[in-house]
């Protein structure tokens, strides 16, 4: 019967819509966030595209972070004079390092506040200033705004930002999660390729049933990282540095890098002007980052002086000897780039590239941040990657909303259209 097909379609759609109405009680355009129970926070990244030209310090204050950590997270050379006043170009994609906490049972960062300016609206703040990382509805809710047509100038708004921890691991390997706002031109496969992960992994992490993604969706993208093994009482406990980048810690005294050859965190004194406690390992003449090698009959006797966090303003060091089959080569460092002044088309139209792959402005690491080769071959067995850790409990959690509002309305509309002829 010719009638049968429409009927079964209708029932299917009706079923689907009811199902959606049940599982998506409140349809917002962004963020289903990792549920959490403990109060531990973790290091996370936000993928942010500049809406206008902004100074380094302005971007940092938009997210209330240290300008130096913004630069090092993006492997930008901080030895340039007056670097904090350098103007970053509109449309530049940056990774913003933030602390991800657990608030009311979900992971988010709420340490960011925004002071409203004349002509701001909730949607301009959400879509433009914060690049789609937050929605106007989320701003309204977080700040209990009833009438959003009246924003007082100079009002401080809490800006809840999406982030995930997933225990700092992905498939049992150390990982840091980037909250990535999908652009119209993006495909899941391209995002996976760009961030050295797989399509399957991205789908698992975000609990996606298909590879379809929409403009404005927020994905959690796992990036391989170097884990630290600092004691719990260290104030930088849980430091996690993404592959290919740097972090500054211990009150600007220590810099830690990750990659490119292996994912062992490597820390050494930074050359930023700061007053620092001793960085020498007890009962040795080694400083953090120094390594001695001694070829013996049984292999290579490696002794390294490692950074182990900072507690009460005191830098913790550990001297760790190990016997290895072969002596490690010299420490390698991630490439640094010059402060960007232009944006390549790739960084506008593709998923944002890792800073190293910007064609322009590549510099060899130099002076202040990092020596081009370590003073000694580096090795840090004590801070090696954590192994054998729990799995993708992540599969059930997602930053991506299962179904955007527009799609739900479209389905409902379709349902009505299909049911009408039958009712007649
Ligand atoms: C780390 O990044 C480098 C490029 O900077 C890449 O060659 C390497 O495969 C990455 N490592 C992992 C584990 O993703
Ligand atoms: C140890 O490391 C410091 C700081 O990185 C460096 O200046 C020094 O040359 C190294 N010295 C030795 C003996 O390893
Ligand atoms: C390795 O070197 C350290 C310090 O140089 C020394 O104390 C230790 O005895 C050496 N171990 C071996 C097995 O040679
Ligand atoms: C830090 O200092 C406080 C008081 O000065 C002390 O109570 C605490 O035990 C110290 N913690 C560590 C880890 O040294
Ligand atoms: C989280 O990771 C730690 C090691 O980093 C591990 O000991 C712990 O079991 C993991 N917890 C879960 C819930 O996966």
In tens, the pLDDT along 406-423 reads: 334 443 444 444 444 444
Is 38 contained in some domain? Answer: yes
Angle at 407 between CA 103 and CA 3, to 5 degrees: 140
Is 244 contained in some domain? Answer: no
pLDDT tens-digit map of 335-368: 999 999 999 765 544 444 444 433 333 333 333 4
Q: How far apart are CA 392 and CA 167, in angstroms?
A: 10
Specify the number of domains making up the chain: 1
pTM: 0.77
Q: How far is ligand 5, taken at its centre, from the CA of residue 389, in Å?
A: 5
- Beta carbons of 208 and 223 less than 8 angstroms apart: no
Is 182 contained in some domain? Answer: yes
For the chain, what is the radius of gyration of the CA atoms? 24
3-state helix, strand, coil in the chain (%, to 5): 25, 25, 50
Is 169 contained in some domain? Answer: yes
Range(s) of the domain holding residue 120: 29-224+386-401
- Atom 8 of ligand 4, residue of closest alpha carbon: 312
Q: Is the CB of 244 under 6 A from ligand 1?
A: yes
Is 15 contained in some domain? Answer: no
- Beta carbons of 386 and 174 less than 8 angstroms apart: yes
Q: How far is ligand 3, taken at its centre, from the CA of residue 379, in Å?
A: 16
Q: How far is ligand 2, taken at its centre, from the CA of residue 244, in Å?
A: 23
Is 91 contained in some domain? Answer: yes
pLDDT of residue 148: 76
Q: What is the mean pLDDT of the chain?
A: 80
Q: How far is ligand 2, taken at its centre, from the CA of residue 298, in Å?
A: 27
Is 155 contained in some domain? Answer: yes
- Atom 3 of ligand 1, residue of closest alpha carbon: 260
DSSP sequence for 65-112: --HHHHHHHTTB-TTSTTGGGPEEPTT-EEEEEEEEEEETTEEEE---
Extract the residue ranges of the chain whose pLDDT is less than 70.
1-33, 345-424
Is 282 contained in some domain? Answer: no
């Amino acid at each position: 019967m010719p009638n049968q097909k429409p009927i079964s379609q209708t029932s299917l759609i009706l079923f689907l819509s009811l199902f959606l109405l049940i599982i998506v009680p409140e349809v917002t355009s962004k963020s289903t966030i990792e549920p959490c129970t403990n109060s531990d926070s973790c290091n996370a990244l936000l993928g942010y595209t500049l809406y206008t030209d902004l100074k380094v310090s302005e971007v940092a204050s938009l997210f209330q972070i240290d300008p130096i950590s913004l630069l090092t997270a993006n492997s930008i050379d901080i030895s340039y004079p007056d670097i904090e006043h350098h103007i970053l170009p509109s449309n530049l994609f940056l990774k913003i390092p933030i602390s991800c906490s657990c608030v009311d049972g979900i992971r988010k960062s709420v340490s960011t506040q925004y002071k409203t300016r004349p002509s701001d609206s909730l949607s301009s703040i959400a879509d433009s200033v914060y690049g789609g990382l937050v929605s106007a509805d989320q701003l309204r809710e977080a700040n209990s705004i009833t009438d959003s047509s009246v924003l007082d100038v100079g009002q401080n708004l809490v800006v809840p930002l999406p982030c995930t921890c997933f225990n700092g691991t992905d498939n049992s390997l150390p990982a840091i999660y980037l909250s990535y706002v999908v652009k119209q031109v993006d495909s899941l496969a391209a995002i996976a390729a760009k961030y050295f992960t797989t399509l399957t992994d991205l789908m698992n992490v975000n609990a996606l049933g298909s590879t379809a993604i929409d403009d404005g969706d927020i994905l959690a993208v796992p990036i391989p990282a170097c884990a630290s093994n600092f004691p719990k009482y260290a104030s930088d406990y849980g430091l996690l540095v993404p592959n290919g980048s740097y972090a500054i810690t211990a009150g600007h005294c220590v810099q830690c890098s990750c990659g490119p050859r292996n994912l062992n965190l490597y820390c050494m004194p930074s050359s930023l002007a700061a007053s620092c406690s001793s960085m020498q390992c007890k009962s040795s003449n080694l400083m953090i980052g120094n390594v001695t090698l001694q070829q013996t009959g049984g292999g290579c006797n490696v002794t390294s002086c490692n950074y182990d966090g900072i507690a009460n303003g005191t830098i913790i060091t550990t001297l760790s000897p190990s016997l290895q089959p072969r002596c490690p080569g010299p420490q390698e460092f991630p490439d640094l780039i010059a402060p960007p002044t232009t944006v390549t088309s790739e960084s506008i139209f593709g998923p944002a590239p890792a800073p190293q792959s910007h064609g322009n402005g590549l510099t060899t690491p130099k002076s202040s941040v990092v020596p081009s080769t370590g003073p000694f071959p580096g090795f840090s067995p004590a801070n090696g990657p954590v192994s054998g850790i729990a799995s993708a409990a992540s599969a059930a959690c997602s930053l991506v909303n299962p179904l955007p509002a527009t799609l739900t309305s479209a389905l409902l509309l379709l349902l009505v259209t299909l049911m009408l002829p039958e009712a007649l």
